[in-house]
Chains A and B, each alone.
Chain A
Amino acid sequence: MAQKKPEKLIDEKDVRLDGRGLKELRPMKIEVGVLGNADGSAYIEQGKNKILAAVYGPKEAHPKHLAIPDRALLRCRYHMAPFSVEERKSPAPSRREVELSKVIREALEPAVFVEYYPRTSIDTFVEVLQADGGTRCAAITVASLALADAGIPMRGLVAACAAGKVEGRLVLDLDDIEDKEGEADLPLAWMSHSNAITLLQMDGSLTLDEFGQAVNMAVEGCKQIHGLQKETLKAKYVAVKEEVEE
């Protein structure tokens, strides 16, 4: 069932279709430690996106020839459930999913102390249960929490968020329709350590000036998400600590 394209995505008062302002993130809900078997796991809802992440490892690398003598092999699989999008998506990994798995892995690896676990693998699985634009970013946000939940030493949490251009205006955190109908989409991942940009992609059309503004806007969005990530971890682990002390 295809939705009809609305006439305007942003009204005269700079209010977007879902009622957000231009620089406003979608409502987010994050949980950690949601799966029983995984060494670490997390769940995120960002607008209509619903994404689960699980981490297994560090464990012996299989197949063995993939093991790296001086560090851990970080693997990542980004996968969309067939029912996560409007038209059923075949469960076989698409080219898009292969590329996203790669860029997500490369966004996470700068944060992980892979050198602490030579010859092992750390496997990160991301399942998109429902998609509504910006899933690669939400996937990075949630996967980095799952890594932290697995107790893997990290330089910092990685938060991700897109900025873009819709109907001539720069906006934060595009949803599906804004991504499809808009002029540009720029997903960016950011790590508080070194103020590092660990993922950066773009499609669409931006002038150099707009590009600079969009990058800064996305980094600001990531900082907000980073705050939320920290709160979520604290809420779980600080609460547990207090119980033990009593």
Chain B
Amino acid sequence: MKYPIMIRVKQKQIAQLVSLGKRLDGRGLNDYRGIQLEVGVVGRAEGSARVRLGKTEVLVGTKIELGEPFPDVPNQGVLTVNAELVPLASPTFEPGPPREDAIELARVVDRGVRESKAIALEELCVEPGKKVFIVFVDVYVLNHDGNLIDASALAALAALLNTKMFNYEVKEGKIEVKPGYKPLSVKNYPIAVTFAQIDDKLVVDPWLEEEQVMDARITITTDKDGKICALQKGGYGYFTTQQVLEAAKIAKEKAEELRKLVVKG
């Protein structure tokens, strides 16, 4: 990635502050920005959620359709996560097929939902090998101000919890959709927590300027039991074993806080 000149200038300032345990926007090293969550914002979608993480804004919509299962898992429904970095969200996003970062974003969100077994895919099977439900989770980034992964993962979970599923009956091999809906069953609540490494220190929830000067990034997703279910390192720097273990501990604590925002009761 190319750094704009101004970022180079800010790099020293950001790093100096971080070494004192402070951040440019006044947060502590382990603090998230303010989080606002709205669900059911798009009526046409089966489920939807909009997350504002500071100035970062992500909208996630889910759709459920009938389709064919993958041949290697004929009795399971399908989960598909896609992310669009739409050009209206940042001067650095361009129209066109998903770039590497969009694909990584989608796959990291996907890994959290899939590996925590948040969606019981067996329950989405209608006719083994022939008909299953496909859950599409579409991540739409509306404003990029850093840490798209955590915002998207949070919005995806909130959207899935908001998703309504058809009532249906299978009669003589045909599916009859019946009136009314029931909520999609969500069994686990994976929460992604991302750290940026700046001058050998870890900061939680990096915003855009911190992302631009960071050496490396690590995302740790934990499930409702505090187990780690997905992990992704990014960026051109590296971590020590010590840092990774420390990050895992903080991620678990932070995830518990965030989970309370999405999962009520």
Contacts and interface: CB of A to CB of B under 8 A. Distances in A.
Contacts of A199: 233
A143 to B, nearest CB: 15
Contact of B223 (A87, A197, A205): A205
Nearest to A216: B241
Contact of B238 (A87, A194, A212, A215): A194
B106 interface: yes
Contact of A95 (B106, B230, B239, B240): B106
Given A102-B100, A200-B218, A201-B231, A207 B241 contact: no
B115 interface: yes
Contact of A206 (B227, B234, B235, B236): B227
Interface stretch (A18-26, A103-111, A129-137, A236-244): A103-111
B104 A102 contact: yes
Nearest to A203: B115
Given A106-B233, A216-B241, A208 B249 contact: yes
Contacts of B230: 202-203
Given A206-B227, A215-B244, A196 B100 contact: no
B251 to A, nearest CB: 9
Interface residues of A, number: 35
Contact of B234 (A101, A103, A204, A219): A103
Contact of B244 (A99, A200, A203, A205): A200
Main DSSP-derived SS at the B contact region: mixed
Interface string B56-74: 0000000000000001100
B118 interface: no
> Which of B114, B244, B249 gathers the greatest number of chain A CB atoms within 10 Å?
B244
Interface in B102-148: 103-104, 106-107, 111, 114-116
Given A98-B103, A194-B238, A207 B233 contact: no
A195 B115 CA distance: 29
A95 B241 contact: no
Contacts of B100: 98-99, 101-102
B245 interface: yes
Contact of A207 (B107, B227, B239, B240): B227
> Which of B72, B107, B233, B234 gathers the greatest number of chain A CB atoms within 10 Å?
B233
Interface in A59-96: 68, 87, 95-96
Interface in A170-211: 186, 191, 194-208, 211
B226 interface: yes
Interface residues of B, number: 36
Interface string B191-234: 00000000000000000000000001010000100111111111
A2 interface: yes
A184 to B, nearest CB: 8
B205 to A, nearest CB: 19
B248 interface: yes
A88 B257 CA distance: 45
B245 A202 contact: no
A196 B238 contact: yes
> Which of A195, A205, A206, A207 gathers the greatest number of chain B CB atoms within 10 Å?
A205
B103 A110 contact: no
Contacts of B2: 68
Nearest to A180: B72
Contacts of B50: none
A22 B2 CA distance: 44
A124 to B, nearest CB: 14
Given A195-B240, A196-B238, 19 more contacts: A68-B2, A98-B100, A99-B104, A101-B100, A102-B104, A102-B234, A110-B237, A195-B241, A196-B239, A198-B233, A205-B229, A206-B227, A208-B226, A208-B252, A211-B228, A211-B245, A211-B248, A215-B241, A215-B244
Interface of A: 2, 68, 87, 95-96, 98-99, 101-103, 106, 109-110, 186, 191, 194-208, 211-212, 215-216, 219
Listed from nearest, the 7 A-B pairs whose CB atoms lie closest are A196-B238, A202-B231, A200-B233, A109-B236, A203-B115, A198-B238, A110-B238
7 contacts: A99-B107, A102-B100, A103-B233, A103-B234, A200-B233, A205-B227, A206-B227
